[in-house]
């Protein structure tokens, strides 16, 4: 965050809040201890004390977003795109996810047990693509509401025999708001009554104009049920990736987002994480949402134990003290002590917020009954 309260600033400068308030007063600013000070005001006070303002002073180290920093260009390497499938109910999202997974995963992984961890990776033309398997809309709404961007590309599935429907439009709006490129998969092409032209026409009204009609949106006719057009769809995903150049630094402690999490009877807290930058390793001290721990074991989407995973990889981990929520951020720290400090601060903040929420509710109730 870019602001501090008078009280917080006083603490950082080892001064009494009253002294800061007095100084602000001399500078023509009336302030209270809980008042938020912007960067300029903070700088003014610090300069007055002869303290050089480092960026550090403004950094709230318990806010996980502050660790989502960008790396220098020369440290970056290519990373696989992260794809979400969205579309109206019954237009074939689940069938498409299954179809991609079956043609691309189980075929090449004889005997490999594909387990459900909420995301999976496939390989096409020697390149990896990550698919998020969470119900597209839920993933977008909960995660986006919490400010976490996880998707690079949206596949918009539209059934050729049904056309644009309310959730199709919803999906378009989500993707647009998140500034995520859309590839349209015109599905159920095998069906009698399939009318791809109608889909193209209807989508034009929502700003998605096919390349065939002079626009910029890629349309791919498919049959998720018969497994037709899947390869072209994957090729188009790789094409978009080449243009967008998704990058990450594999040589830093991992950061990313929780895809899903639950309590397992035997294994305790189990969380599927999407590594968005860096490399996640077994033994890493980690803060996940309002909980923390050490990565005890990691299992990939093929059900295999792995020691480390790089950018854009989905992985299931154990070793957390508590169960985080989908959309929570995670950050790996160099040492366990810092992870513990940040984790404990976050869990007590969360507890406090929960308590004050409860107090508020009961006060509201009280007033209601008066």
DSSP, collapsed to helix, strand or coil, labels residue 365 as helix
Element (H, E) at 299: strand 291-299
Of the ranges 27-35, 51-59, 184-192, 291-299, which one interacts with ligand GDP (CB under 6 A)?
184-192
Our finding on whether 104 is near ligand GDP (CB under 6 A) is no
Nearer to ligand GDP, 99 or 279 (CB): 99
Nearer to ligand GDP, 223 or 312 (CB): 223
Among 134, 187, 277, 290, binds ligand GDP (CB under 6 A): 187
Phi-psi region of 118 (alpha: psi -120 to 50; beta: other; left: phi over 0): left
* Residue 191 interface partner, choices Mg ion, ligand GDP, none, CB cut-off 5-8 Å depending on type: ligand GDP
C-alpha angle 286/324/105, rounded to 5°?
85
Nearer to Mg ion, 94 or 114 (CB): 94
Interior/surface letters 163-175, b for 16+ CB within 10 angstroms, e for the rest: bbbebbebbbebb
DSSP, collapsed to helix, strand or coil, labels residue 241 as helix
Q: Least distance to ligand GDP from the beta carbon of 363, Å?
A: 43
In whole angstroms, what is the distance from residue 358 CA to residue 352 CA? 10
DSSP string, 75-130: G-EE---EEEEEESTTSSHHHHHHHHHIIIIITTSTT-----SSEEEEEETTEEEE
Nearer to Mg ion, 94 or 347 (CB): 94
Interface map 141-160 toward ligand GDP (x if CB under 6 A): --------------------
Nearer to Mg ion, 23 or 137 (CB): 137
Element (H, E) at 306: strand 305-306
Query: Annotated binding site for GTP: which residue ranges?
Result: 87-94, 133-137, 187-190
Nearer to Mg ion, 92 or 285 (CB): 92
Among 190, 202, 231, 344, binds ligand GDP (CB under 6 A): 190
Element (H, E) at 220: strand 218-221
Q: Least distance to ligand GDP from the beta carbon of 159, Å?
A: 7
Query: Annotated binding site: which residue ranges?
Result: 87-94, 133-137, 187-190
Element (H, E) at 8: helix 6-12
Our finding on whether 94 is near Mg ion (CB under 5 A) is yes
DSSP, collapsed to helix, strand or coil, labels residue 308 as strand
Our finding on whether 223 is near ligand GDP (CB under 6 A) is yes
Instruction: Name the residues that contact ligand GDP, by CB under 6 A.
Output: 87, 89-95, 187-188, 190-191, 223-225
Contact residues toward Mg ion (CB under 5 A) are 93-94
């Amino acid at each position: 965050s870019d602001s501090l309260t008078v009280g917080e600033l006083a603490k950082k400068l080892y001064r009494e809040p009253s002294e800061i308030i007095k100084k602000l007063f001399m500078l023509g600013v009336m302030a209270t201890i809980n008042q938020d000070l912007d960067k300029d005001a903070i700088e003014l006070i610090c300069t007055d004390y002869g303290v050089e303002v480092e960026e550090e002073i403004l950094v709230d180290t318990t806010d996980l977003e502050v660790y989502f920093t960008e790396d220098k260009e020369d440290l970056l390497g290519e990373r696989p795109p992260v794809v979400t499938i969205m579309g109206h109910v019954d237009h074939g999202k689940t069938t498409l996810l299954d179809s991609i997974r079956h043609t691309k995963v189980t075929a090449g992984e004889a005997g490999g047990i594909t387990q459900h961890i909420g995301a999976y990776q496939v390989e096409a033309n020697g390149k990896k693509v990550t698919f998020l398997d969470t119900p597209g809309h839920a993933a977008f709404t909960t995660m986006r509401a919490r400010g976490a961007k996880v998707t690079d590309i949206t596949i918009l599935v539209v059934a050729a025999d049904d056309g644009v429907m309310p959730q199709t439009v919803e999906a378009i709006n989500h993707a647009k708001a998140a500034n995520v490129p859309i590839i349209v998969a015109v599905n159920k092409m095998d069906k009698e009554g399939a009318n791809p032209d109608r889909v193209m026409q209807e989508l034009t009204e929502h700003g998605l104009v096919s390349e065939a009609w002079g626009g910029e949106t890629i349309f791919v006719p498919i049959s998720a049920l018969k497994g037709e057009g899947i390869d072209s769809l994957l090729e188009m995903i790789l094409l978009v990736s080449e243009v967008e150049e998704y990058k990450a630094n594999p040589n830093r402690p991992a950061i990313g987002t929780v895809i899903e999490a639950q309590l397992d009877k035997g294994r305790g807290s189990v969380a599927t994480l999407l590594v968005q930058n860096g490399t996640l390793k077994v033994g890493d001290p980690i803060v996940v949402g309002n909980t923390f721990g050490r990565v005890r074991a990691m299992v990939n989407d093929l059900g295999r134990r792995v020691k480390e995973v790089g950018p854009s990889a989905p992985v299931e981990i154990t070793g957390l003290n508590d169960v985080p929520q989908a959309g929570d951020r995670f950050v790996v720290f160099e040492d366990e002590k810092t992870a513990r400090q940040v984790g404990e601060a976050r869990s007590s903040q969360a507890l406090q917020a929960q308590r004050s929420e409860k107090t508020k509710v009961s006060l509201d109730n009280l007033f209601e009954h008066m």
